[in-house]
Structure 1
Amino acid sequence: MLFDFFINYLYVLKYISLVLMFFLAIFGIDDLFIDVYFWTRKLWRKLTVYRRHNYMDANELLVKPEQPIAIMVPAWQEHGVIDKMAHLAATGLDYENYQIFVGTYPNDPQTQADVDNVCAQFSHVHKVVCAQPGPTSKADCLNNIIASIIEFEKKAKIEFAGFVLHDSEDVISALELRLFNYLLPRKDLIQLPVYPYARRWYQMTPAHYVDEFAELHGKDVIVRESLAGQVPSAGVGTCFSRRAVLRLSVEGDGLPFDVQSLTEDYDIGFRLKQWGMEEIFARFPVMGEDHVTLREYNIGVSKREGNVICVREYFPTTFNTAVRQKTRWIIGIVFQGMKNHKWTKDWKINYFLWRDRRGAMSNLGGFLAMLLLFQMVGLTLYSTFVPDSYHFLSLLSDDPMVRVLLYINFILFLNRTFQRAFFVTQYYGFWQGFLSFPRMVWGNIINFFANVRAIRQVVEQGDPRRVAWDKTTHDFPIVDDTIRRIPLGQILIEKGQITEKQLEQALMSKPVDMLFGTHLVLKRYITNEQLSAAIATQVDAEYQSCDPFELDPCIIERLPKTLALKYSVLPIKYENGTLILGCNKRLNPVAINVIKRQLHCEVTWVIITNGAVMLGLRYWYFNQQEENPAIKLDQAVVEKQLSLSKRQYVMDQYYASRMQLGDYLLALKLIETTVLNQAVLAFSRTLDIRFGDFLVSQQYVSSAAISAAMELKTKQEMSISQLIKAQGTTTGE
Structure 2
Amino acid sequence: MAWLELIERELLLFSAFWFAIGALDDMAVDAVWVGLKLFSRAKEGGISNREARAALQGQAAVLIAAWQEEQVIGHTIRHALSAWPQQDYTLYIGCYGNDPATVSAAMSAAAGDPRVRVVIHGNAGPTTKADCLNRLYAALCADERRARARFAFLVLHDSEDMVHPAELAVYDRALQSADYVQLPVRPEPQPWSRWIGGHYCDEFAEAHGKALVVRDALGGGIPAAGVGCAFARAMMERIARRRMAEGYNGPFACECLTEDYELGLLVRDEGGRSRFLRVRDEAGELVATRAFFPGTLESAVRQKSRWVLGIAFQGWDRLGWGNRLCDVWMVLRDRRGPLAALIMACSYSLLLIEGFVLLLQLAGLYQRPPLGGALDGMLAVCGGAVLWRAANRFAFTTAEYGVLEGMMAVLRVPVANIIAIMAGRRALERYVLSLFGRVLVWDKTAHDAHPVSAPGGQ
Verify same fold: TM over 0.5: yes
In the alignment, which residue of structure 2 is the partner of 1:196? 187
Matched, 1:400 2:373: yes
Distance 1:19 1:265 in 2: 34
Alpha-carbon displacement from aligned partner over 1:118-154 (angstroms, at most 9, x marks no partner): 2324221110011211111111000100111122223
How far apart in 2 are the matches of 1:463 and 1:155?
46
Correspondence for 2:442:
469
Aligned: 1:390 with 2:385: no
Instruction: Give how far 1:93 is off.
Output: 1.1
Distance in 1 between the 2:45 and 2:314 partners? 43
Instruction: Tell me by how many angstroms 1:371 deviates.
Output: 3.0
| Paired residue type of 1:139 | A
**Aligned counterpart, 2:127:** 136
User: Is the counterpart of residue 18 in structure 1 residue 13 in structure 2?
Assistant: yes
Contact 2:62–2:155 (CA under 8 A) maintained in structure 1: yes
Tell me how far apart the structure 1 counterparts of residues 214 and 299 of structure 2 sit (CA, whole Å). 30
**1:432, CA displacement in angstroms?**
0.7
Q: 1:222 to 1:43 in 2, by over 3 A?
A: same
Q: What is the alpha-carbon distance in structure 2 between the residues aligned to residue 216 and residue 204 of structure 1? A: 18
Contact persistence 1:68–1:158 (CA under 8 A)? no
Contact 2:46 / 2:281 at 8 angstroms: preserved in 1?
A: no
Higher relative contact order (CA 8 A, sep 6+): 2
In the alignment, structure 1 residue 479 sits paired with structure 2 residue 457: no
Kindly provide the amino acid, as one letter, of the partner of residue 285 in structure 1: R
Specify the SS of the correspondent of 2:445. Answer: coil
Contact 1:78–1:111 (CA under 8 A) maintained in structure 2: yes
Which residue in the other structure is 1:261 paired with? 256
Structure 1 residue 463: Cα displacement: 6.6
Residue in structure 2 matched with residue 727 of structure 1 by the alignment:
none
Aligned CA RMSD, in angstroms, stands at 2.2
Shift in Å, 1:190: 0.7
Distance 2:173 2:213 in 1: 19
For residue 115 of structure 1, the aligned residue among 89, 99, 106 is: 106
2:309 to 326, 331, 336: 331
Which letter maps to 2:367? H
Which residue number in structure 2 is paired with residue 83 of structure 1? 74
Deviations 1:202-230, CA, capped at 9 Å, x for gaps: 63111111111111101001111111331
Q: Matched residues in 1 for 2:64 and 2:45: separation? A: 36
AA in 2 matched with 1:177:
L
Q: CA deviation at 1:181?
A: 1.0
In 2: Cα distance, 1:214 partner to 1:11 partner: 40
Q: 1:202 to 1:151 in 2, by over 3 A?
A: closer
Distance in 2, matches of 1:147 and 1:323, equals 33
1:39 aligns with: 34
Match of 2:40, SS state, is helix
List per-residue Cα deviations over 1:689-711 (Å, max 9, x = no partner): xxxxxxxxxxxxxxxxxxxxxxx
Q: Classify 1:65/1:104 alpha carbon distance in 2 versus 1 (closer, same or farther; 3 Å).
A: closer
- What percentage of residue pairs aligned between the two structures are identical? 32
| 1:317 aligned partner | 295
Classify 1:403/1:459 alpha carbon distance in 2 versus 1 (closer, same or farther; 3 Å): same
Q: Which amino acid aligns with 2:451?
A: P
1:312 counterpart letter in structure 2? R
Of 399, 403, 411, 2:384 maps to 411
Q: Matches of 1:54 and 1:92 in 2, distance apart?
A: 21
Structure 2 equivalent of residue 30 of structure 1: 25
Is the aligned partner of 1:446 residue 2:419? yes
Counterpart residue identity of residue 330, structure 1? V
Which sections of structure 1, spanning at least 5 residues, go unmatched? 1-5, 289-303, 481-733
1:315-359 deviation digits (Å, cap 9, x = unpaired): 111111111111111110011000011123211111111111111
Matched with 2:407 is 434
1:275 to 252, 259, 270: 270
Deviation at 1:378, TM superposition (A): 5.0
Structure 1 residue 377: Cα displacement: 4.5
Inter-CA distance 217–54: structure 2 relative to 1 (3 Å threshold): closer
Amino acid aligned to 1:14: R
Q: For the Cα contact (< 8 Å) 1:335–1:464, is it kept in 2?
A: no
1:127-166 → structure 2 map (5 Å cutoff):
127-166=118-157
Q: Return the letter of the residue paired with 1:164.
A: V
Contact 1:143 1:256 in 2 (8 A): yes
Give the direction of change, closer, same or farther, for the CA distance of 1:93–1:42 in structure 2 (3 Å limit): same
CA distance in 2, matches of 1:255, 1:466: 21
User: TM-score, with normalisation over the residues of structure 1?
Assistant: 0.59
What is the identity, as a one-letter code, of the residue corresponding to 2:452?
I
Letter in 2 for 1:342: G
Larger radius of gyration: 1
Specify the code of the residue in structure 2 equivalent to 1:81.
V
How far apart, in 2, do the equivalents of 1:261 and 1:453 lie? Answer: 17
Number of matched residues?
Answer: 449
SS of residue matched to 2:275: strand
CA–CA distance in 2 between the matches of 1:460 and 1:127?
A: 37
Alpha-carbon displacement from aligned partner over 1:438-474 (angstroms, at most 9, x marks no partner)? 2110111111111111111111121799311111101
Q: Structure 1 residues 226, 70: closer, same or farther in 2, change over 3 A?
A: same
SS of the aligned residue for 1:45 comes to coil
Shift of 1:389: 4.8
Alpha carbons of 1:369 and 1:149: their partners in 2 closer, same or farther (altered >3 Å)? same
In structure 2, what is the Cα distance between the partners aligned to 1:142 and 1:323? 24
Label 1:261 to 1:366 Cα distance change in 2 as closer, same or farther (>3 A): same
Q: Which amino acid aligns with 2:288?
A: C
- In 2, the alpha carbon distance for the partners of 1:274 and 1:109 equals 39
Letter aligned with residue 164 of structure 2: S
Instruction: Give me the whole-angstrom Cα distance separating, in 2, the residues matched to 1:465 and 1:230.
Output: 31
Instruction: Identify if the C-alpha distance between structure 1 residues 65 and 441 changes in structure 2 by more than 3 Å, giving closer, same or farther.
Output: closer
Q: Which residue of 1 aligns with 2:221?
A: 230
SS of structure 2 residue aligned to 1:166 = strand
Contact persistence 2:96–2:121 (CA under 8 A) = yes
User: Whole-Å Cα distance in 2 between the matches of residues 93 and 414 of structure 1?
Assistant: 42
Post-superposition offset of 1:30: 0.3
Contact 2:278/2:287 (8 A) holds in 1: yes
Alignment of 1:622-641 (within 5 A): none
Distance across 1 between alignment mates of 2:173 and 2:11: 53
TM-score (norm 2): 0.93
